[in-house]
Chain A
Amino acid sequence: MSRALQEVVPLSRRASITVNRPRETVERLWRGPDHRPEYIHSKGAAVRFADAPGDRGTEIHVELRPAWGGKAGEIVRKVTGSEPRAKAMDDLRHFKQLVETGVIARSDGAPEGELAERDLRQRPARPLGERAGVS
């Protein structure tokens, strides 16, 4: 196996998404104050941008640092939806939605928008009433 392949960061520490906008727009908004992906920034992850092929916009590749707890910690986080990759994907999806549509997609079952930690305890799909926007 070549040296380059051995050094690849495992999938559990990688997250990526494609945003349907030119690279300069994506990079500017990523660094600006309005759409800043807080989790990814706070974890000091390495972020790389690339032009997607053809008319497909811009790829964002995130490499996360190793998390605590080894294999056991990884399983716990996976079950609760709090694994770094899932949280980074929440961030990336929110960023993509804000850049492409101007809003975060919210439903009655997932009023905060995409949130892996809520997957196992969704609200019923009915209006929230007075508690709108609150879990």
Chain B
Amino acid sequence: MRANVWSGRNEVRVENVPDPKVLNERDAIVRITSTAICGSDLHLYDGYIPTMKKGDILGHEFMGEVVETGKGVSNLQVGDRVVVPFPIACGDCWACRHELYSVCENSNPNAGMAEKLFGHSTAGIFGYSHLTGGYAGGQAEYARVPFADVGPIKIEDDLPDEKVLFLSDILPTGWFGADLCDIKGGEVIAVFGAGPVGLFAMASAALLGAERIVAIDEYDYRLRMARDKAGATDVINFSHDADVVEQLKELTAGRGPDAVIDAVGMEAVHGHGGVHAYDRVKQATRLQTERGHALRDAILACRPGGIVSVIGVYGGLLDKFPAGAFMNKGLQLRAGQAHVHRYLRPLYERIRDGEIDPSFVVTHRLGLDQAPEGFETFKHKQDECVKVVLKP
């Protein structure tokens, strides 16, 4: 089959590789009909996630048709149309039984490796380094899906791929980010990053009842999409004025947002050249693995007693963490890879009911063979790129 593989920093190639096989009785094989490039794939592309190997198949957002099932999979039939969640979860461990699917205790066969870096292992993830299991990803014609009796959701109506594909990751991830904010109605929620996950976090916050939603980004075209499609009431372009914290305070008459969502993660850009250069140099020389301006600003901007929700991906150590603001303002810091399985069914129903149409983020549609071009366009924000969908 054809698959998009990581070939070193800033290089992916579409190659011929063997077709996947059932390795366990709880596996299924899916013929992929749509797959996407995630913002977090750029962290792999840029070389900031350790334990990548040349030849790893990328991709953790995919859907398709079941073509084979192991004998332990009774809920799926050959021919079923499914969306596959990006974390691999066994459904049986203590974490899964408590709906903490992204920290499944059994799905990562490199748990020992993960423990060395994070203290504990987290779930296996498709196409996302060997630290999360060394699973082949879904930017390919076929994928092996372990624990297929737990993860995939069957799509039983004729909604087009683009409306349901993002159930695999970015829609539940955005929703999770908003869910962590304990929105009860009337809140001001600030979202750092108006990429696909940030946009879905904004749309989710709006559906959950937030009154004002502030989008923060450096690109006007993304901020336009935030306002026109994702429910943002206010926008801040930090390339015009780098002091986001003061702007957020000004927008809220000094209070600060009730909750702040970091949908940026480890490769933040700072509007102030000096601050950015400081972190860029330390990251390039591996003195820190993260450029954490978004998280720092989120903590400084959040109102006392508020919540900082981190769904942007981090991989290692962050310098200059504002511990004083965090502690003295009494903030709650909540985070995680989304527990996608928890949200699949309710979000599928919201899509079916027309409450949300996630396809608004799609700006580029390419064939699988054009994946290298898709990565470059997405990375450099060329051609007003927001989301790339690949068709195998």
Q: Which residues of A are interface residues toward B (Cβ below 8 A)?
A: 18, 20, 55-57, 81, 86, 89-90, 93, 96-97, 100-111, 113-116, 119, 122-130, 132-133
Contacts and interface: CB of A to CB of B under 8 A. Distances in A.
A18 B94 contact: yes
Given A100-B90, A107-B134, A124 B18 contact: no
B187 interface: no
A83 B118 CA distance: 21
A75 B381 CA distance: 47
Contact of B130 (A97, A125, A129, A133): A125
A23 B18 CA distance: 43
Contacts of A20: 92-94, 97, 105
A109 B56 CA distance: 9
A96 B57 CA distance: 28
**Chain A at the B interface: SS class:** loop
Contacts of B97: 20
Given A86-B112, A114-B111, A103 B136 contact: no
A118 B124 CA distance: 17
A89 B110 CA distance: 11
Interface stretch (B19-27, B212-220, B255-263): B19-27
Contacts of A81: 112
B54 interface: yes
B5 interface: yes
Interface of B: 3, 5, 17-21, 23-26, 51, 53-57, 72, 90-94, 97, 105-113, 124, 127, 130, 133-137, 144, 146-147
A110 B106 CA distance: 14
8 contacts: A20-B97, A100-B90, A105-B108, A106-B23, A108-B144, A122-B130, A125-B53, A126-B18
B25 A108 contact: no
A122 B26 contact: no
A122 B53 contact: yes
B25 A102 contact: yes
Given A56-B94, A110-B133, A101 B110 contact: no
A109 B24 contact: no
Contact of B106 (A101, A119, A122, A125): A101
B94 A57 contact: yes
A126 B92 contact: no
Given A125-B56, A132-B23, A110 B109 contact: yes
Contacts of A116: 112
B84 to A, nearest CB: 15
Given A102-B25, A126-B57, A128-B18, A109 B110 contact: yes
**5 closest pairs, A vs B, by CB?**
A109-B134, A129-B18, A124-B55, A110-B109, A125-B56
Given A20-B105, A122-B130, A127-B136, 9 more contacts: A96-B106, A105-B24, A108-B144, A119-B110, A123-B53, A126-B18, A126-B55, A129-B18, A130-B18
A68 to B, nearest CB: 22
Given A108-B134, A108-B136, A126-B136, A114 B110 contact: yes
A99 to B, nearest CB: 9
A111 B136 CA distance: 11
B68 to A, nearest CB: 13
Contacts of A133: 23
A125 B132 CA distance: 11
Given A107-B135, A125-B135, A128-B18, A102 B72 contact: yes
Contacts of B108: 105
A58 to B, nearest CB: 11
Nearest to A119: B113
A122 B134 contact: yes
Contacts of A107: 109-110, 124, 133-136, 146
Nearest to A55: B94
Given A103-B25, A125-B127, A110 B110 contact: yes
A46 B135 CA distance: 35
